[in-house]
Amino acid sequence: MAGVGEQPIVIKKVKKGGGHAHHGGAWKVAYADFVTAMMAFFLLMWLINTTSPEQKRGIADYFAPASVSETTSGSGGILSGTALGDDGQKAAGTSSVIEQMSPAAKNPDEGHSKEGAKAQDEAMREALKKRDDAAFASAAQSLRQALQDMPELAELSKNIIVDQTPEGLRIQLVDQEGRSMFNEGSAQPNDRAKLLLRAISKVINQLPNRISIYGHTSASPGGAKAEGDWTLSAARADASRRILQGAGVDRDRVYQVSGKATSEPLYPDDPMLPGNRRIAIVLLREAPVLPARPAL
């Protein structure tokens, strides 16, 4: 009980609402947009980092806006303020207008478009060349590793020469002194050559490129060129083709089989060296398939 003259004490209890108010899902949409933008940004950065200057130039040319007339007056239109007929105040300009509108007239954008298309083609060829170089390097490493891993091939590693040429990846089976790939005068590969050809077929099957096979012979004593060298070198190249196909190389991948006799010695300073007798197998660089461009 409150004393006389004292005010009663009133205690007010405020009940808080249960749970938080609903804020909606708008923040999820904003966050998703942010993540998408960041992904697109990093993808753009990656593409810029992996493209060459030639490719960037080609892309820039491709998206370059067409030229637009700078004037907003009627004279900037098709007729440029002149008349087509003989009558009229502007008849003096009729001849030049017709020449400008004729199909033979030079398009100011034509040169720019051709340069852009050429830059794109060059960029595509350069990109495909880099891809082929990387694939050829991997194939060459696989062959070297196979020669090291197989004891029966290790001693024959000196009979293999692998290099890249403008034509493609070249694998050569080269005769060594006392260790030839073919018996003298014979077109059939001996056991050494068959063993190496089967190992090479595994590398060839790693890539889709077509192949060319060339046979080479060495010069006779005195530097004489025997007439039968052409037939012998071609027969050896064809016999190598049959071994490769028997080891699993698709016959449709064989682009060319030819004999070169002594015309391209490996050692020009000494055309009689045994190393000039060889079989060259080339995995060809494939020409890029470029899209057809509309006529300008």
Per-residue pLDDT band at 53 (split at 50, 70, 90): confident
User: In a 3-state reduction of DSSP, which class is residue 78?
Assistant: coil
Per-residue pLDDT band at 287 (split at 50, 70, 90): low
Residue 221 lies in a domain: yes
Q: Tens of pLDDT along 68-77? A: 444 444 445 5
Sign of CA dihedral 264, 265, 269, 272: negative
Q: Rounded distance, CA 175 to CA 158, Å?
A: 9
CB atoms within 10 A of CB 179: 14
Based on DSSP, count helices (H) and strands (E) in the chain, helices before strands. Answer: 7, 5
160: containing domain: 127-284
Residue 242 lies in a domain: yes
Alpha carbon 12 to its chain centroid, in Å, reads: 82
Kindly state the percentage of the chain with pLDDT values over 90: 29
Q: Rounded distance, CA 16 to CA 201, Å?
A: 82
Q: Tens of pLDDT along 127-177? A: 777 777 787 787 778 777 777 777 677 778 888 898 888 898 899 999 988
CB distance 102 to 166 below 8 Å: no
The residue among 178, 183, 189, 172 whose CA lies nearest residue 267 is: 172
Per-residue pLDDT band at 238 (split at 50, 70, 90): very high
Per-residue pLDDT band at 97 (split at 50, 70, 90): very low
Residue 240 lies in a domain: yes
Residue 31 lies in a domain: no
Both structure tokens of 185:
């005068």
Residue 273 lies in a domain: yes
Residue 81 lies in a domain: no
Residue 152 lies in a domain: yes
pTM for the whole structure: 0.55
Residue 146 lies in a domain: yes
Structural domains counted in the chain: 1
**Order of all β-strands in the sheet with 160-165:** 160-165, 168-174, 278-284, 211-216, 254-259
Q: Tell me, what CATH number does 265's domain have?
A: 3.30.1330.60
